Amino acid sequence: MPIQLAVINGTIVTQDDDGRVHWESKASIDADGANGQNGNPFAYREDDQGLDALANAGWPDSWHGVLIDHGNDTPMSDGNGNLYSQTTYAWKGRPIPTRYVDSTAVPYIVVNPLVRRKAVGVVIGSRGRITYDGVSINAVVADVSGKHDIGEISIQAAAMLGIPSSPRHGGAAAGVSFELWPGSAAVLAGEIYELQPA
C-alpha cells in the first residue's frame, strides 16, 4: 500500500509499493555544483554576477551553498572571483572543481530533507525522472533542499524540458512531475552514480 512520506507546502510526496517516490509541483532552478568544470559559468561569483544570486549561497554572513576555507571562514574561490558551490552528491577522490554534480551539464533532482530521511532506500545518487508538458527526461538525485522547499531541478534539466533555466528568474509555476527510485543507482551519459546514504 502506498505511503505518504511528507506534505511540503501543500505538496504530497508518496512512496509506492514498488519503491517509486513521486510528487507533482512547481520547479525552481538550482545552480549548485556549477564550478566551471564543463566550460560553463560558475553558480556563484564574488561580484554577484554568477548564474545565481549570492544571497542563495548564504551571503553575506551565513554561507551554506559554497565551500568554506576553514582557515578563515570565507568562501573558497578559484582566485578569479568564482566561488566553489557543492551538491549533496560528491564524487569520491575527485578534486574540488570536478567533485560535485554540474547543474549546467547534468539533469538532476533536488529532494527535500524529509523525503530523503523518510523514503525507503538510499535517495542520493538514485535514478529519477522529470516530466513536464509531455516531455520526460532521466535524471539523478543529486542535491538536498531547504526544509520547506519542494520541486527543484538543475539548469540542464530545465533546458531539456523547455523550462526557463535561469536560477535567478526561471522555473515553472506548476505541472512538473518528479519520480525517483531510491536504492536504484542512476546512470547518465556513461557515468554510474554511487548511492550515497545520509
**Is residue 67 packed enough to be buried (19+ CB in 10 Å), middle (13-18) or exposed (0-12)?**
middle
**Rounded mean pLDDT, 40-51:** 96
**Rounded mean pLDDT, 142-150:** 95
pLDDT tens digits along 93-121 = 999 999 999 999 999 999 999 999 999 99
CATH number of the structural domain spanning residue 139: 2.40.40.10
**Rounded mean pLDDT, 6-30:** 97
pTM reported for the whole predicted model:
0.95
**Domain total in the chain:** 1
Is a pLDDT exceeding 80 seen at residue 61? no
Average pLDDT, the chain: 95
Amino acid 184: pLDDT: 98
* 56 is a domain residue: no
How distant, in Å, are the alpha carbons of 37, 75, 90, 99 from that of 94? 12, 19, 8, 5
pLDDT tens digits along 155-191 = 999 999 999 999 999 999 999 999 999 999 999 999 9
* 23 is a domain residue: yes
Give residue 140's domain range. 3-32+102-184
Among 181, 161, 180, smallest CA distance to 171 is for 161
